Amino acid sequence: MTVTLYHYLMLAGVLFAIGFFGVLLRKNTLVIYMCLELMLIASTIVLVAFSRYNGTMDGNVFVFFILTVAAAEVAVGLAIIVALFRRRMTIQVDELNALKN
């Protein structure tokens, strides 16, 4: 039983799918946001795995950027969530539907 690229990619795929599923399932904005982070991480696995198996550096460097960007995104996102919570006293997505139709 050897571990090949296939396994890494499937792991990434499964995590990506779980993340996606979580986004669809959860109503708490914070958890949704966590799931999104998970999806990003799943993508990084793909990059790292390919980088390793293809012998090129680009994927790894890309991951570096992704982590940076994700951190910034989280900061901004959480700031928005906090501000929203302060105004609306909820972060449940099904209650955040003042904008519709």
Partner 1 sequence: MFATIFYLFAFLSVGSALAMVFNRNTVHSAMFLLLSLVGVAGVFALLDTGFLALLLIFVYAGAVVALFLFIVMLLDMQGGERKPFRPAAIAAGVVTAGLLVVGLVSFSGAVQALHAPEAASVLPVGVNLKHYANQLFTTYLLPVQVVGFLLLIAMLGVIVLSKRFEGLEDIK
Partner 2 sequence: MAPTQLAFLLLLTPLASALLTALFFRRSPAVGRALSLAAAAAIVVFSSMLIFATDGFSRSAEWLVIGPLTIELGFLVDDLAKLMLFVVAFVGFLIHVFSVGYMKGDANAARFFGCLSLFMFSMIGLTLADDLIMLFIFWELVGLSSFLLINFYYDRPAAVAASKKAFIVNRIGDFGFLIGIILAYWAFGTITLADIALRLDTSPELVTTTIALLIFCGAVGKSGQLPLHVWLPDAMEGPTPVSALIHAATMVAAGIFLLCRVAVIMTGDALTVILWIGVATALFAGVTALGQRDIKRILAYSTISQLGFMVAAFALGSLLALRSGVDGALAGLAGGAAAAMFHLTTHAFFKALLFLGAGSIIHSSHHEQDIYRLGGLARRMPITFATFTLGTLALVGAPFLSGFFSKDAILLLAYQYDPKVFVLLLIGAFLTSFYMTRLWVITFLGVPRTDHAAHAHENGLTMTIPLIFLAVGAVLAGYTWFYPEALAVVPRFAHGLLEGEGHTLAAVAGTGVFVVGAALGFLLYRPGAREDFLQTRMPALYRTLEQRLFIDALYDWYVAKVQQRFALLLNFLEQIFLSGLIIRGFAGLVGLVGIGARALHVGSLHAYVHWFLLGAVILWAIAAGLF
Partner 3 sequence: MNTEMLQAAAASNQWLAIFPELMLGCLALFLLVLEMVLPKKQHELIPTIAIIGQGAVLVGLLINYRTAFIGEETFNGMLLHTSGGQFLRCFFLLASILVSILGMVALAKQRMPRIEFFHIVIVVSAAMMLLAQSNHFVMLFVALETITIGFYILVSYTRTNPLSLEAGLKYLIMGALSSAILLFGIALLYGVAGNPALAGATAEAMNFGALQVFLQANPDNLLAAIGIVLVLAGVAFKIGAVPFQIWIPDVYQGAPTPVTSFLAVASKAAGFAILLILVRVFGPYHSVIVPVLTAMAIATILFGNLAAITQHNVKRLIGLSGVAHAGYLLIGVIAAMTQPLAVGAIFFYLLAYLLGSFAVFGVMTHVAGPDDADQDLDHYADLGKTHPFLAMVLAVGLGSLAGIPPLAGFMGKLLIFIAAFKAGLYLLLVVAIIGVVISIYYYFGWIKAACFPSLRAPLTEGEADPTPARTPVGLAAGITLATLALASVLLGLYQGPFGEWLSLH
Residue 56 CA to residue 47 CA, distance in Å, equals 10
Least distance CB 100 / partner 1 (angstroms): 18
| Tokens of residue 14, six digits | 């499964």
> What x/- string results for residues 29 through 48 when contact with partner 1 is judged by CB under 8 A?
-xx-xxx-xx--x--xx--x
Least distance CB 46 / partner 1 (angstroms): 10
Q: Which residues contact 3 (CB under 8 A, 6 or more apart)?
A: none
- 96 lies in the site for partner 1, by CB under 8 A: no
Find the binding residues for partner 2 in span 19-48 (CB under 8 A): 20, 23-24, 27, 32
- 68 lies in the site for partner 1, by CB under 8 A: yes
Cα angle 38-69-9, degrees, rounded to a multiple of 5: 40
The gap between the terminal CA atoms of the chain, to the nearest Å, is: 54
Among residues 83, 1, 81, 98, which one has the least CA distance to residue 36? 81
Give the number of residues in contact with partner 1, rule: CB under 8 A: 72
Provide the binding-site residues for partner 2, judged by CB under 8 A. Answer: 20, 23-24, 27, 32, 93-94, 96-101
